[in-house]
Amino acid sequence: MSERILLFIPAYNCQRQIPRVIAQLTPERARWFSEVIVVNNRATDNTEACAIEALRAQAVNGKVLRNDGNYGLGGSHKVAFNYARAHGFDYVVVLHGDDQGSVSDLIPYLESGAHREVDCLLGARFARGSRLTGYSLFRTLGNRAFNLLYSAVSGRWITDLGSGLNLYRVSALDDAFYLRCANDLTFNYHMLLRSIASGWRIRFFPLEWREADQTSNVRLFRQAMRVLGIALAYGFNRRSYLASDFADHASSGYSSTTVFNQAASESASR
Ligand SMILES: Nc1nc2c(ncn2[C@@H]2O[C@H](COP(=O)(O)OP(=O)(O)O)[C@@H](O)[C@H]2O)c(=O)[nH]1
Ligand SMILES: [Mg+2]
């Protein structure tokens, strides 16, 4: 089986956590990924240097891409999805750079071949078997309420609107509706609704999600209002929602510069 899986790590101001995320890539886990790209969304701290140092210690084909502008978390997904399509990958795995999740929660599904049966495998923080550590009750309840609302408007049972560990089949990205999803932290909400509307085969899997030294950049009230607005827009006028473009960088493209490029054989651990 010569399938090629890209591991995409979005990173923004996570200098303390990014070394731990990259350290998750022990040889047994790293062998699933043909390449790892850390997409630095113009962090203002030492995220980029920390990512490079951590990649050097791993036997992986690893790159650090620096976005040419701050495109948001959604825009960073667009950089990575475009990259996966342009470079002939079969699947792209997203693992957030702030070490809230563990790639090891996904690997059993790769081992069993579950990814070949679906268009996306979505990590679920609120499914049976999920483990939440240090996550506030307030956020848990809010997320569960939104899961119910989105399930109602989409007609599909949803156990997470967007965790930080997901897999997408690259061929499913070919109709490029992801480019019309918002560039901000609501990207995953849009992706989920559009993938349901497109008839994607979606499977949720339980994972562990931790909140320790991470500083979430989500402003809860503003985010909640946006998330509500998206659900209402979809629920009340799906056709007009699906025809809309929520991106704000659409014309400028999602260009990035490769600032570090390592072949597995060059890395320190060989
Ligand atoms: N907030 C934020 N995070 C970004 C951005 N670009 C990439 N990221 C990464 O996206 C992930 C999610 O962001 P975070 O603020 O932790 O959101 P939360 O985990 O949903 O509370 C983190 O791993 C960030 O490093 C960005 O422009 N803003
Ligand atoms: Mg986070």
Q: Residues 91-123: pLDDT tens digits?
A: 999 999 999 999 999 999 999 999 999 999 999
Q: pTM of the entire structure?
A: 0.96
Q: Which of 40, 96, 210, 214 gets mutated to test ligand 1 (max ligand atoms within 8 A of its CB)?
A: 96
Ligand with an atom nearest the CA of residue 188: 1
Query: What pLDDT score was predicted for residue 202?
Result: 98
Ligand with an atom nearest the CA of residue 10: 1
Q: Which atom of ligand 1 is nearest to the CA of 100?
A: 19
pLDDT above 90: residue 18: yes
Q: Is the CB of 125 under 6 A from ligand 1?
A: no
Q: Which atom of ligand 1 is nearest to the CA of 70?
A: 27
Q: 113 C-alpha vs ligand 1 centroid, how far in Å?
A: 29
Query: In whole angstroms, what is the distance from residue 146 CA to residue 140 CA?
Result: 10
Find, among 134, 161, 133, 137, the residue nearest to 147 by Cα. 161
Is residue 97 classed exposed, middle or buried when 0-12, 13-18 and 19+ CB atoms within 10 A define those classes?
buried
Query: What pLDDT score was predicted for residue 250?
Result: 64
The mean pLDDT value of the chain amounts to 95
Query: In whole angstroms, what is the distance from residue 133 CA to residue 270 CA?
Result: 35
Question: Which tens digits make up the pLDDT trace of 215-242?
Answer: 776 788 899 999 999 999 999 999 999 9
Question: Which tens digits make up the pLDDT trace of 127-146?
Answer: 999 999 998 898 899 999 99
Structural domains of the chain, with CATH = 5-250 (3.90.550.10)
